């Protein structure tokens, strides 16, 4: 019996779509066309109008600045931001974040975490009954 050897084809990653629209379609749409596609919270933010700082950030992105640093964690990620690297402040330092297509209409702050993972060490001396047996060094 001869065994048939099958070659595995590399998995092809599907092109990203947001509610049926490709990234190129989203980037070409005007704001009025994007509004119905946005989640309610993002749509409300744009209906009420962006602040001066948010408008300045969008203008900096459109002008093609290489390095963009911002404290505006509440800025909605627009399709025109895709592929850019933005430094977002997390309360202590700026974290570089590359904007991926999956991040469309999320907030910038979701990608620069403000808290670290907690990794607890061993108990201190006298903290528990068993800590008597923890070697000092």
Q: Which domains does the chain have, with CATH numbers?
A: 17-110 (3.30.860.10)
Token reading at 110: 């979701």
pLDDT in tens, 44-84: 999 999 999 999 999 999 998 889 999 999 999 999 999 99
pTM of the model as a whole: 0.76
Q: What is the DSSP letter of 107?
A: B
CA distance 64 to 69: 13
Q: State residue 86's pLDDT score.
A: 96
Judging by DSSP bridges, how do beta strands 85-89 and 68-70 pair with one another? parallel
CA distance 131 to 75: 49
């Amino acid at each position: 019996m001869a065994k048939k050897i099958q070659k595995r084809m590399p998995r092809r990653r599907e092109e990203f779509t947001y509610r049926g629209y490709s990234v190129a379609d989203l980037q070409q749409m005007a704001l009025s066309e994007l509004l119905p596609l946005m989640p309610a919270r993002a749509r409300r933010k744009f209906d009420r109008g962006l602040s001066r700082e948010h408008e300045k950030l969008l203008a900096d992105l459109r002008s093609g600045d290489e390095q963009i640093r911002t404290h505006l964690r509440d800025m909605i990620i627009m399709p025109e931001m895709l592929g850019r690297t933005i430094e977002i402040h997390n309360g202590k330092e700026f974290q570089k974040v590359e904007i991926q297509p999956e991040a469309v209409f999320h907030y910038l702050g979701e990608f620069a975490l403000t808290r670290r993972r907690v990794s607890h060490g061993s108990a201190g001396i006298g903290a528990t009954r068993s800590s008597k047996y923890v070697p000092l060094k």
